[in-house]
């Protein structure tokens, strides 16, 4: 029986049960994708968990030395309590009586000489006799022995200095000047000094009373007057 032939039309879509054609381009793409996947897996580093550290505890056993026991200290009783509680027995003094001495009746004893020292009192010194006071005679110009006049100072002449100096003198027993001082100044120290230096060299006749030479206190006036 003759079966009619089926003609194929290019416009009709292929059946899904029809055999497929081999496509090398698709195979190449698959190979490349697998190669890239393998390369990525080889280069990727997966995070690794940190290693576990095992700690080892070492225990050393030492034998402790037992400290020696503290010695027991015995407390002594207080001395103050013993002193207060103890009774002090003071022995009574024993008086030794002297042995009796036999005295012979009618015996004579020689007296023992006793030396008595009497303090010797030194005689009191005689009272010091005060020197007699000088006799005040006032003006001494009457009893002068040696009295050269003072020289007028040259500077005082040039300055026209004038004046009178009143001096008080204390004459010794031999008539020399013992002390001198100014009672009234001339007003110029140069004239006063010149008068003192001149009068120190003057001498007077000694003044006597009851045959004894006496000190004399009196005054002398020295005038300084320019002529013309």
Contacts 24+ apart (CB under 8 A), 122-130: none
| The pairing of beta strand 216-224 with beta strand 135-139 | parallel
Give the SS3 label for residue 145.
strand
Considering the chain, what is the average pLDDT of its residues?
A: 73
Asked, for residue 156, whether it belongs to a domain, the answer is: yes
Measured in whole angstroms, how far is the alpha carbon of residue 93 from the centre of its chain?
Answer: 61
Contacts 24+ apart (CB under 8 A), 97-105: none
**Per residue in 186-212, pLDDT tens?**
999 999 999 999 999 999 998 888 889
- Give the pLDDT confidence score for residue 60 in this predicted structure: 56
Asked, for residue 152, whether it belongs to a domain, the answer is: yes
* φ/ψ bin of 160: left (φ > 0), alpha (ψ from -120 to 50), beta (otherwise): left
Asked, for residue 44, whether it belongs to a domain, the answer is: no
Asked, for residue 162, whether it belongs to a domain, the answer is: yes
The values of phi and psi at residue 166, to 5°, are -105, 120
Asked, for residue 179, whether it belongs to a domain, the answer is: yes
Domain span at 172: 135-224
Bridge partners of 207, per DSSP, are: 214
Measured in whole angstroms, how far is the alpha carbon of residue 28 from the centre of its chain?
Answer: 114
Asked, for residue 22, whether it belongs to a domain, the answer is: no
DSSP assignments along 202-220, one per residue:
-EEPPEEETTEEE-EEEEE
- Give the pLDDT confidence score for residue 35 in this predicted structure: 77
What CATH number does residue 144 fall under?
3.30.2420.10
pTM score of the predicted model: 0.42
Q: Report, in this order, helix, strand and coil percent for the chain, each rounded to 5.
A: 20, 20, 60
Asked, for residue 21, whether it belongs to a domain, the answer is: no
**Would the pLDDT of 114 be above 80?**
no
Domain tally, the chain: 1
Asked, for residue 66, whether it belongs to a domain, the answer is: no
**Per residue in 21-70, pLDDT tens?**
657 777 888 888 877 777 766 665 555 555 555 555 555 565 566 666 67
Between 172 and 62, name the one with better pLDDT. Answer: 172
DSSP assignments along 167-213, one per residue:
EEEEE-TTSBEEEEEEEE--S-HHHHHHHHHHHTT-EEPPEEETTEE
**Per residue in 70-102, pLDDT tens?**
766 666 555 555 555 545 555 666 556 566 555
């Amino acid at each position: 029986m003759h079966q009619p032939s089926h003609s194929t039309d290019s416009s009709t879509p292929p059946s899904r049960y029809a055999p497929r054609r081999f496509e090398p381009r698709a195979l190449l793409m698959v190979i490349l994708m697998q190669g890239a996947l393998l390369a990525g897996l080889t280069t990727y580093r997966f995070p690794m968990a940190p290693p576990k550290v095992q700690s080892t505890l070492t225990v050393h056993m030492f034998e402790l030395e037992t400290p020696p026991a503290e010695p027991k200290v015995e407390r002594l009783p207080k001395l103050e309590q013993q002193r207060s509680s103890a009774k002090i027995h003071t022995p009574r003094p024993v008086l030794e009586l002297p042995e009796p001495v036999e005295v012979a009746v009618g015996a004579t004893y020689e007296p023992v000489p006793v030396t008595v020292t009497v303090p010797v009192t030194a005689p009191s010194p005689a009272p010091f006799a005060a020197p007699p006071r000088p006799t005040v005679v006032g003006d001494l110009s009457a009893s002068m022995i040696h009295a050269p006049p003072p020289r007028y100072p040259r500077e005082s002449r040039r300055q026209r200095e004038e004046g009178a100096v009143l001096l008080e003198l204390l004459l010794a027993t031999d008539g020399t000047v013992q002390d001198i001082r100014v009672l009234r100044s001339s007003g110029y120290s140069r004239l006063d000094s010149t008068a003192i230096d001149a009068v120190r060299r003057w001498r007077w006749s000694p003044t006597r009373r009851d045959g004894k030479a006496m000190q004399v206190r009196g005054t002398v006036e020295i005038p300084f007057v320019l002529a013309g």
